[in-house]
Structure 1
Amino acid sequence: MTEAMAGSREDPHAQARSARSAPVLLHSMSIFREIFEIVFARRGIRTVVEIGVESGQVSGIYAELGASDVYCVDPEPTERVRSAVEANDALHLVTEPSPEVLPRLPVADLYVLDGDHNYAVVRREVAWILEHAPDAVVAMHDLLWPWGRRDLYYEPSPLKAGDRHPISEDGPTVWHDELTPAGFVGLGAFTVARHAGGERNGVLTAVEDALAEHPEWRFELVPAVFGMGILYRAETDPDEALQRALRPYTTSNLLAAMENNRIALYTRVLQMQFEAAAQADDRDRLADTVAAQRHEIDRLTAELHRAWAVLRSG
């Protein structure tokens, strides 16, 4: 294991190769393959419903682990997603919104929720699953900062006005509680709730409210990569095998500390990028000003020469 992680004297760059092959933002659910392996090893997972399809890479992981049918729900799939689905007979693309299409899909053994990160949508998804798929396991993403307690709305949003909080195009940062144009911004792809916390706001809040109506379900949280949640009914794990297998991850203070450090570093980089772009804009404006002044100086100089020539000829 040490050599696989850190390399060897003969291959000192193994860790670096592994690092550069991972997503730079570490936002992908593929990071949690080890958690999915634990779930598949302790449950008979044959049917998966995946809401929110990244690129098709994660969808393929479920098939690799033993799923025979993976329903990939994405109303606006990219060509990369379409190609990935077409290349794997176990994958089936569903291009309808998740809350509406769930009742028309086969009841799954595993639901993976990584679509809309707002209370209204997540609450409807989770409520339907807890009511109609009592033997399923539910894996969820983005239960910690920044969307655990603050809604994100992909734009244009199909939500009714009553399901949305007042929005901002600025984004959150770790370094203060207010939104900032130097934070985690959507650049037109999404907006965020202007205020965090309170009722009906954020992914984790939606899960908590759903669980309040279904206390027979157990909730586990892996404090890494924006937070991964696992839901399952307690009676489907009578010997607590799944809970015990997840415990090294769900109780890890090290993972939590590393996640806090990661998001602090990430938002510091966002701030530095914003400041660098602002400085570049300032330099461009200064260059334009200098060019305009130089042009004016050249014009005045030419007029002065013409006037001097007239005086000399007179």
Structure 2
Amino acid sequence: MPDTFMGPHQFGTRHDPHVQARLARETPLLLHSMRLFREIFAVIFEHRPVSNVVEIGVESGAVSSMYAELGAETVHCVEPEPTDELRRNLEGDERLRLVERPSPQVLPELPLAELYVLDGDHNYTTLRHELEWIFANAPGATVVMHDLLWPCSRRDQYYAPEKLETTERHPTTSSGPTIWHDEVTEAGFVGNGAFCCAQHAGGERNGLLTAVEDVLSGSQGSDWEFDLIPAVFGLGVLYRKDSQAFTAGLPAALEPYRDSRLLYAMENNRIALYTRVLQLQYEASAHADNTDRLAVSVSEQHDEIERLRAELADERESRNAESARLRSENEQLTRQLERLSVQGGGAAGLIRRIANRVLHRVKSRST
């Protein structure tokens, strides 16, 4: 039976009613880790012996240790570009073996496994090649695949599109899908440089679920059972109908998860809410950018106003100095005219008129 989980330590007591709220605050906004499916893997381990696991797509290494906790003796952790965090998490546990090679090329180099966990590059070509190799070489294995539902069910996602032939990939975009309309958008499920996705959804050779369907429709597909659990982007489980897992009752054990309308409704609600959050975050970021640009514009305009004020002050100071100079010249001229008036006798009237005209010109210049 699945691990016992629920209890007061999860939903609180009358004396501590906030336990669930505290746990919710600690939960990532986007649930995506394979570790969330621990109870599903526990069911698989209970219905067949699992000694060797091949895990493709290793995240931080926390999921790798989960397989060891459930009873696996060896976990081959396939990650061609491991992070320092991953290396640290795998250190000290001899059961966890890092394999720095890409899939599916690495599969023939590894020992055959009872359990294959496929959570690597999320595109049709890669998954189909992985499944075809497993079907041909490890028919007794159980295969678990992640991200078979939206957004990768009918749309390829690429971490390294350049490693695929041009005929094996679709035109890509840095925008991402959203459930609110059919086209990709910058406000959608974007990779921010970590991954890109196909520009268009649907059609042939596009998406993970399409890859599973095409492999199952092949010559060997009729021998395999396929269960799809509609939670956390979708988990698929494949095992042969003549396998030990099948005869031990794995289909019946997975049925409550596979046929759960509750899980399906909750998953649809989850991706609707999350893509709405992405849209709001994008709009908030755009608004912040607009605010920043407006602040820069206001600052530049303020600087321009201060510059013009300084120029105006300089101009006023210059004009005041000029006015003072002209007034001084006017006073000197007036005094000279007065002296001429005294000395010139009858010419006083003429001189006075000339002085008035000069004074008028001076006043005009000063204003």
Q: Which structure is larger by alpha-carbon Rg, 1 or 2? A: 2
Q: Is it true that 1:209 corresponds to 2:214 in the alignment?
A: yes
Q: Is it true that 1:249 corresponds to 2:257 in the alignment?
A: yes
Residue 176 of structure 1: aligned partner: 181
**Amino acid in structure 1 at the alignment position of 2:74:** D
Inter-partner Cα distance in structure 1 for 2:138 and 2:160: 30
Q: Is the 8 A contact 2:80 2:100 kept in 1?
A: yes
Shift of 1:46: 0.5
Q: Is the 8 A contact 1:154 1:191 kept in 2?
A: yes
Q: Is the 8 A contact 1:45 1:67 kept in 2?
A: yes
Unaligned 5+ runs, structure 1:
none
Shift of 1:7: 1.5
Shift of 1:161: 1.0
Q: Is the 8 A contact 2:47 2:248 kept in 1?
A: no
**Structure with higher helix content:** 2
Inter-partner Cα distance in structure 2 for 1:298 and 1:261: 55
- Which of 79, 102, 105 matches 1:74? 79
Name the SS for the 2:105 alignment partner: helix
Residue 171 of structure 2: aligned partner: 166
Taking structure 2 as the reference length, the TM-score comes to 0.83
Unaligned 5+ runs, structure 2:
1-5, 323-367
Residue 227 of structure 1: aligned partner: 234
Inter-partner Cα distance in structure 1 for 2:101 and 2:290: 45
Shift of 1:4: 4.2
Taking structure 1 as the reference length, the TM-score comes to 0.97
Q: Is it true that 1:134 corresponds to 2:142 in the alignment?
A: no
Inter-partner Cα distance in structure 1 for 2:248 and 2:71: 22
Inter-partner Cα distance in structure 2 for 1:127 and 1:54: 24
Inter-partner Cα distance in structure 1 for 2:13 and 2:99: 45
**Amino acid in structure 2 at the alignment position of 1:208:** E
Residue 186 of structure 1: aligned partner: 191
Q: Is it true that 1:88 corresponds to 2:96 in the alignment?
A: no
Inter-partner Cα distance in structure 2 for 1:171 and 1:238: 38
Inter-partner Cα distance in structure 2 for 1:301 and 1:215: 85
Runs of 4+ in 1 over 6 A off after TM superposition: none
Residue 295 of structure 2: aligned partner: 287
Task: Give the CA RMSD over aligned residues.
Answer: 1.2
Shift of 1:243: 0.4
Inter-partner Cα distance in structure 2 for 1:306 and 1:37: 84
User: What are the equivalent positions in structure 2 for 1:16-55 lying under 5 Å apart?
Assistant: 16-55=21-60
**Amino acid in structure 1 at the alignment position of 2:152:** W
- Bigger relative contact order, structure 1 or 2 (CA pairs below 8 A, ≥6 apart): 1
Inter-partner Cα distance in structure 2 for 1:262 and 1:184: 13
Inter-partner Cα distance in structure 2 for 1:200 and 1:41: 35
**Amino acid in structure 1 at the alignment position of 2:158:** Y
Name the SS for the 2:76 alignment partner: strand
1:233-265 deviation per Cα after TM superposition (whole angstroms, max 9, x unaligned) = 011145461000000000000000000000000
Q: Is the 8 A contact 1:155 1:189 kept in 2?
A: no
Q: 1:30 to 1:104 in 2, by over 3 A?
A: same
1:117-173 deviation per Cα after TM superposition (whole angstroms, max 9, x unaligned) = 000101100110111111100001000000010000114631111111011110000
Residue 15 of structure 1: aligned partner: 20
Name the SS for the 1:140 alignment partner: strand
Residue 284 of structure 2: aligned partner: 276
Shift of 1:83: 1.1
**Amino acid in structure 1 at the alignment position of 2:262:** L
1:92-140 deviation per Cα after TM superposition (whole angstroms, max 9, x unaligned) = 0000001111011011000000000000101100110111111100001
Identical aligned residues as a percent: 58
Inter-partner Cα distance in structure 1 for 2:67 and 2:37: 12
Q: Is the 8 A contact 2:140 2:239 kept in 1?
A: yes
